[in-house]
Amino acid sequence: MISKIQSRIEEYIKEIKTANNHNELNSIKINTLGKNGIIKNLLKDVLDREYDDDVKKNAFDYINKVKQQITQMILKKKTEIDDFIQNSKINLEYIDVTLPVKNNNIGTRHILSSMVEKIRKYFIFRGFDVVDGPEIDREFYNFDALNIKKTHPARQSCDTFYIHDDWLLRTQTSTMQIRELSKKTLPVKMVSIGRVFRCDSVDSTHSPIFTQMECLVAGRDPICIGNLRHELINFLSFIFDNKNIDIRFRTSYFPFVEPGMEVDCLYNGSWLEIGGAGIVHPNVFSNCGIDGKVYGFAFGLGIERIVMIKNNINDIRFLYDTDVRILRGLSL
């Protein structure tokens, strides 16, 4: 009895071992373990025939062992076929990274990073110190020393990201003016470029994170608005590649300068707001521990604003997007 069953089972075992794909394996699975497969039929055949109880028991035990064996063999074969398919895909998709590049679509620096570097080099050439400092700073450097009173709206949590106690994310690179002046080493010619943070909702002209540059010139020798205008014209002429650049000042209020003014630049026939400037307020020098007669001017500009004007972009979000079709078309 068992020998007859064994001969039929061995045929299917050979088929399992030689199966080359999932279709063949599924067909074998149906023929052996399915509702009308050989295992079911063998069990039914043993049950229907008039065998001794011992013979039936031995036959059932053997058939169940064979069922387990076939199940395990099918699972193992399925894994082998899956591995073969996966390895075939890997071999087909293999890329030799040592081969030379076939196109010119290579990476490059982001337009904002390039503009920052361009500005850095300009001021270094003109004898300025390019300084950087912490993005997380104290209220003293961000507000107090800059003559910004406790009641000023900018100090509210709806405008500034506070971290803990008097620690905050700097809202302006003017913090570096205070850090440099606090060294009490005059004269000072410095530029600071970096990220600043404000509680602004994202729209076409606002972002909670943006890049700002701050310029400060201070010393014992007299400095006037004419010096400020001269420095701004030189800088903007360089940035906009226009030796005949023109600017105008509009009276404005900034706590750390007096007088304070908005700076407009004549670009392509239109007056465009470019940043803020002014003569450093005496309280700023006093807050940094500098006594006596001191003169200075400062101005601050947004780097994104410069890039947007030069490239005729009306939405700041384009600069933070990952659409290379836009980024590739931007120029310094």
Dig out the tokens for 90 from the structure.
């890997």
Residue 314 token pair: 């009306």
Segment of 152-156, 157-161, 212-216 carrying the highest mean pLDDT? 212-216
Give residue 329's pLDDT band: very low, low, confident or very high (50, 70, 90): confident
DSSP states along 229-253: HHHHHHHHHHHTT-TT-EEEEEEE-
pLDDT, one tens digit per residue, over 53-97 is: 777 788 788 888 888 888 888 888 889 888 888 888 887 777 777
pLDDT of residue 105: 66
Q: What confidence score (pLDDT) does residue 3 get?
A: 63
Q: Tell whether the model's pLDDT for residue 104 goes beyond 70.
A: no
Question: For residue 264, with 0-12 CB atoms within 10 Å meaning exposed, 13-18 middle and 19 or more buried, which class applies?
Answer: middle
Strands 257-267 and 129-131: unpaired
Which tokens is 178 given?
A: 């205070």
Q: At 259, phi and psi to the nearest 5? A: -75, 160
Q: What does the mean pLDDT of the chain come to?
A: 90
Give me 191's structure tokens: 């530029």
Backbone dihedral angles phi then psi of residue 299, each to the nearest 5 degrees: -150, 150
pLDDT at 17: 82
